[in-house]
Structure 1
Amino acid sequence: MVDLFDTAPEAPEMDAQRPLADRLRPRTLSEVIGQEQVIGPDAPLGMMLDAGSLSSLILWGPPGVGKTTIARLLADETDLAFVQISAIFTGIADLKKVFESAKIRRQNGKGTLLFVDEIHRFNKAQQDGFLPHMEDGTIVLVGATTENPSFELNSALLSRSQVLVLNRLTLADLERLAQRAEKELDRALPLTGEAREAMLEMADGDGRALLNLIEQVMAWKGDKKLDVEALSTRLMRRAAIYDKSGDEHYNLISALHKSVRGSDPDAALYWMARMLTGGEDPRYLARRITRMAVEDIGLADPQAHAVCLHAWETYERLGSPEGELALAQAVTYLAMAPKSNAAYVGFKAAMAAAKKTGSEPPPKHILNAPTSMMKDQGYGDGYAYDHDAEDGFSGQNYFPDSMKHGVYYQPVERGFERELKKRLDYFAKLRAKRQGG
């Protein structure tokens, strides 16, 4: 979704000097490309406009998908004054002036739609400053952010707003935009079919970036259509969106982790490559894949943990880019390894039991008795030394006397844990036999 419309320009000579994105600015929501899940008749904005009641909004999405455009059009559709500020350049004093102007406007019978770009960059105090003016109807707030609002915005602000998620433009959306640009410029793009598709991919879902690319291509001299190689030589691919401390960082590591857990080595390698090409620190990846080994493979393949540690050590010795291959091999190994979170689940259950039972002491028969007084108290009395048992297993109770024997670790029938399950079942039968006797 971007700024575009189909009507012919009123002043061709002046219009030709305006940026293409400005010339193709939509005049109604129906002219917006993409984001039907937000602006359609049965979508949130469509329902609000139909009911004649617009609430404060947070528009969350990547760059170039039309957040500013939607805000402008909402102001037009609801007959509100449109005021735009950026959190990057606006301070407390500026906000006070904006609010005072909105109050005067309201007294004169005109409401205000305040569009705040990069709203997540405001600190807590600044965000709190919007609340009274939202509550008394002085402003309808429409904030735009590329970051996850649940992490970056105050809960009080979120509770008074509806969050709408805008998606990156699809290739089909970008193609529609390219066609509108060709109509506006009255000229077809001088590209082969494959080169045209490559240009759309270069935009990486950003409509504004695509229009900038189109302007560059249209400015080139010559009538011959360019192929992919010629296009790539003249244009640089748009850098992938990736902020090592932002929302996309967590999205991609989640995709990598779940691909490993889902035993898909190809997807795991792809997401790892996406993170590395985005500038991620390989040491962060080394730490996270080691976590995957202990969390999702566990004792189903005890070697997986060692594979990750050795890959980490190899990276430290070789550095980039050679050391990254060791990390890639570790990721591939994890994806193909048998999976079990039995130890992870068992540990969480044991932690919950430990918190619940508080300070219950161990049974006296497994306590050491280094002094005569402790022996008199029964410490160590009746302890059965397991190595003295015929099969090396005494079957004694090791839980507090007031507790039932807990069952926390339940191995799965996969990988090495299949053998551990056999051992556990064997010990359980012996324990029942010994304690029963």
Structure 2
Amino acid sequence: MADLFDASSQVPDTTPRPLADRLRPQSLDQVIGQDHVLGPDGPLGTMLTSSTLSSLILWGPPGVGKTTIARLLADQTNMHFIQISAIFTGVPDLRKVFDAAKLRRTQNRQTLLFVDEIHRFNKAQQDGFLPHMEDGTILLVGATTENPSFELNAAVLSRAQVMVLKRLELSDLERLAQRAEKELQKPLPLTGEAREALLGMADGDGRALLNLVEQIIGWKTDAKLDTDALTTRLMRRAAQYDKSGDAHYNLISALHKSVRGSDPDAALYWLARMLDGGEDPRYLARRITRMAVEDIGLADPQAQPICLQAWETYERLGSPEGELALGQAVAYLALAPKSNAGYVAFKAAMKAAKKTGSNPPPKHILNAPTSLMKDQGYGNGYDYDHDAEDGFSGQNYFPDGMKRPVYYQPVERGFERELKRRLDYFVKLRAKRQS
């Protein structure tokens, strides 16, 4: 059964309304924290001013006003509002929605169809929206917590504008808490520090904050509660982290770039955020090792073994003790000299290998275990480097006719400074031998 909401239905409501519902904004200018979208110069504000509202995808974390904005858009544009959830709605339900919207259109009223969790619809279901969007039967407003470019069809995205909504800042949450106190006609029984802790517990989610406020207001207490008393009575809200969603990729990117940027404090913070969110430490161990190979390389040859040792230590100790080894590896990587010269060289060599195809090695470096191979010239003219002056023959090892490339260019940092010195030495020696 579809989760449908029809704004025209009149259902008697005698049950107490949750605080979040009582404080739902009645106009767009009452929405907190999304001025970059709703303000006069924001994209949605501009659309409304010019009366050119198009289909939208509202992308943002939970509790930032996606549903509220959709409802208010319908009110402001005098459209009929229908809400469905992609989790509970099937193809037959969608057909009923579209048929009703077509009938409404014959009566000169457009339908704003709000689809919560739109990314949960499969490709075929998403394609089903297209003809009704194109002929004006519906104006689609989809809400998603996931990156639309990964989760939504290109055809849907090409017909809708993506609006990015932000998690609420502490100042936004404070404004919301003050509205709640005014509505309830009662101040929160918290000290200043406890109030800040409460805002932090909401983790940028306005709906979560109002739920917490509603709990606290119901407590019987004569004195203001401090932070310890607050956290004892409230279970701290779990951090927003989906190990297969945007948060996963955003946080691992933040960790990697903090390491690359030589900031151990930031790197440890993002590592802790991922561990606290329930990320698999083995995944982190693998990614940390990759950072050593990709961003440090031969500038510090100890970086990779330290990561592998941390990985092995975690396997032996498990959580939470083994996580400390991963933290130490991250700190070491952040402070290690950085070089991606080996990474760049390998990619360039792979590109060249694909381009040059099956060019054989020069015959002088081929083994000749049979007489036929010797007759073909295999091994002829090979100079044994140990017999050469300085242990270096300077021979060519690339395919015949291939211009000698340069892939590996070590930097003047860490151990690669020494490798660069050696490389320069062999370049000069090779030129000398060839002359």
Scaled by the length of structure 1, the TM-score of the pair is 0.95
* Counterpart in the other structure of 2:199: 200
Instruction: Provide the C-alpha distance between the structure 2 equivalents of 1:358 and 1:222, rounded to a whole number of angstroms.
Output: 79
Amino acid corresponding to residue 280 of structure 1 in structure 2: E
Does residue 66 (structure 1) correspond to residue 79 (structure 2)? The answer is no
* Counterpart in the other structure of 2:185: 186
Amino acid corresponding to residue 50 of structure 1 in structure 2: T
Residues 1:419 and 1:15: Cα distance change in structure 2 (over 3 Å): farther
* Counterpart in the other structure of 1:6: none
User: How far does residue 16 in structure 1 lie from its aligned partner after superposition?
Assistant: 9.6
Secondary structure, aligned partner of 2:423: helix
* Counterpart in the other structure of 2:125: 126
User: How far does residue 51 in structure 1 lie from its aligned partner after superposition?
Assistant: 1.3
* Counterpart in the other structure of 1:222: 221
User: How far does residue 230 in structure 1 lie from its aligned partner after superposition?
Assistant: 1.3
Q: Which runs of 5+ in 1 are unaligned?
A: 1-13
Secondary structure, aligned partner of 1:322: coil
Deviations 1:43-67 (CA, angstroms, capped at 9, x unpaired) = 1101111111111111111100000
Secondary structure, aligned partner of 1:200: helix
Instruction: Provide the C-alpha distance between the structure 2 equivalents of 1:317 and 1:210, rounded to a whole number of angstroms.
Output: 41
Does residue 311 (structure 1) correspond to residue 317 (structure 2)? The answer is no
Instruction: Provide the C-alpha distance between the structure 2 equivalents of 1:264 and 1:283, rounded to a whole number of angstroms.
Output: 22
Instruction: Provide the C-alpha distance between the structure 2 equivalents of 1:24 and 1:177, rounded to a whole number of angstroms.
Output: 9
Instruction: Provide the C-alpha distance between the structure 2 equivalents of 1:367 and 1:16, rounded to a whole number of angstroms.
Output: 87
Amino acid corresponding to residue 223 of structure 2 in structure 1: K
Deviating 4+ runs (over 3 angstroms): none
Secondary structure, aligned partner of 1:76: helix
* Counterpart in the other structure of 1:381: 380
Instruction: Provide the C-alpha distance between the structure 1 equivalents of 2:221 and 2:433, rounded to a whole number of angstroms.
Output: 92
Amino acid corresponding to residue 43 of structure 2 in structure 1: P
* Counterpart in the other structure of 2:9: none
Secondary structure, aligned partner of 1:144: strand
Secondary structure, aligned partner of 2:293: helix
* Counterpart in the other structure of 2:17: 18
Instruction: Provide the C-alpha distance between the structure 2 equivalents of 1:325 and 1:303, rounded to a whole number of angstroms.
Output: 19
Instruction: Provide the C-alpha distance between the structure 1 equivalents of 2:227 and 2:428, rounded to a whole number of angstroms.
Output: 69
Secondary structure, aligned partner of 2:351: helix
Report percent identity of matched pairs: 81
* Counterpart in the other structure of 1:339: 338
Task: Please show how residues 278-317 of structure 1 align to structure 2 within 5 Å.
Answer: 278-317=277-316
User: How far does residue 381 in structure 1 lie from its aligned partner after superposition?
Assistant: 1.6
Instruction: Provide the C-alpha distance between the structure 2 equivalents of 1:246 and 1:235, rounded to a whole number of angstroms.
Output: 27
Amino acid corresponding to residue 403 of structure 1 in structure 2: M
Task: Please show how residues 41-80 of structure 1 align to structure 2 within 5 Å.
Answer: 41-80=40-79
User: How far does residue 354 in structure 1 lie from its aligned partner after superposition?
Assistant: 1.2
* Counterpart in the other structure of 2:419: 420
Instruction: Provide the C-alpha distance between the structure 1 equivalents of 2:95 and 2:386, rounded to a whole number of angstroms.
Output: 79
Amino acid corresponding to residue 310 of structure 1 in structure 2: Q
Secondary structure, aligned partner of 2:391: coil
Deviations 1:138-187 (CA, angstroms, capped at 9, x unpaired) = 11110001111111111111111111111100000001111111111222
Over aligned residues, Cα RMSD in angstroms?
Answer: 1.3
Amino acid corresponding to residue 203 of structure 2 in structure 1: D
Q: Which runs of 5+ in 2 are unaligned?
A: 1-12
* Counterpart in the other structure of 1:258: 257
Scaled by the length of structure 2, the TM-score of the pair is 0.95
* Counterpart in the other structure of 1:7: none
Query: Does the CA contact (< 8 Å) of 1:342 and 1:411 recur in 2?
Result: yes
Secondary structure, aligned partner of 1:335: helix
Amino acid corresponding to residue 196 of structure 2 in structure 1: E
* Counterpart in the other structure of 1:81: 80
Query: Does the CA contact (< 8 Å) of 1:15 and 1:23 recur in 2?
Result: no
